[in-house]
Amino acid sequence: MSELHPDLARILVPEETIQAHVKVLAHQISLDYADKGPVYLVGVLRGAFIFLADLARCLTIPHVVDFMSVSSYGKSTESGVVRIVLDLREPIDNQHVIIVEDIVDSGKTLSYLYTMLKSRNPTSLRTCALVQKPKEKQLDVPVDYLGFKIPDVWVVGYGLDYADKHRTLPYIAELKPSVYEK
Ligand code: IMP
Ligand code: MG
């Protein structure tokens, strides 16, 4: 195996584990929505694009892929205010919607999106997240489909970035605190 990038402390979730679990999630979603009509997948840019691409390709049910972009972080690792940067192309009333998010940290982003999309009267609304951090103060938002629970560290790879770096690594790795503390 090639050397780990010096910004990274360790690999938290290896590529094979991610790929295997994405298939399990897709299988579960395919079962849950069989005979319900198409599922409207809302990927949250930019972090969820790789997860969503793999997940969607493993689904065996009809589905539509759309994206939203919200901004809540600049270059820092602190949670901030959530703002819509890009909205959906279509109305979602009469749709079975699943929000596909990269990570639930404070829960602000997912909770904001959940409330906002719920107000558009979808037939149903669920959430799917690749990873969730343990947080005492995490907002209470349901995560219906979860890939992995991870420790409270900054992670990169498989769509997740730090200041736009390390996003396309095939695994999820822990960033060294010295990288974001400097
Ligand atoms: P929340 O609103 O605090 O739950 O944070 C959600 C957003 O912050 C995610 O969609 C990510 O874009 C970003 N984020 C939070 N923690 C991490 C991390 O460890 N690595 C990369 N991005 C993160
Ligand atoms: Mg995100």
DSSP one-letter string for 130-146? EEE---TT------SEE
Q: How far is the CA of 101 from the centre of ligand 2 (A)?
A: 6
Averaged pLDDT for residues 98-122 = 95
Q: Active-site residue 54, yes or no?
A: no
Contact 131, 103 (CB under 8 A): yes
Cβ atoms of 47 and 160 closer than 8 Å = yes
- pLDDT tens for 43-86 read 999 999 999 999 999 999 999 999 999 986 554 555 567 889 99
127-148 pLDDT, tens digit per residue, is 999 999 997 778 889 999 999 9
The percent of residues in the chain predicted with pLDDT above 70, rounded, is: 95
- Could you tell me the fold of the domain covering 8-175? Rossmann fold (3.40.50)
Q: Which one from 54, 102, 105, 161 is the annotated catalytic residue? A: 105
pLDDT band (50, 70, 90) for residue 6: very high
Res. 2: pLDDT tops 90: no
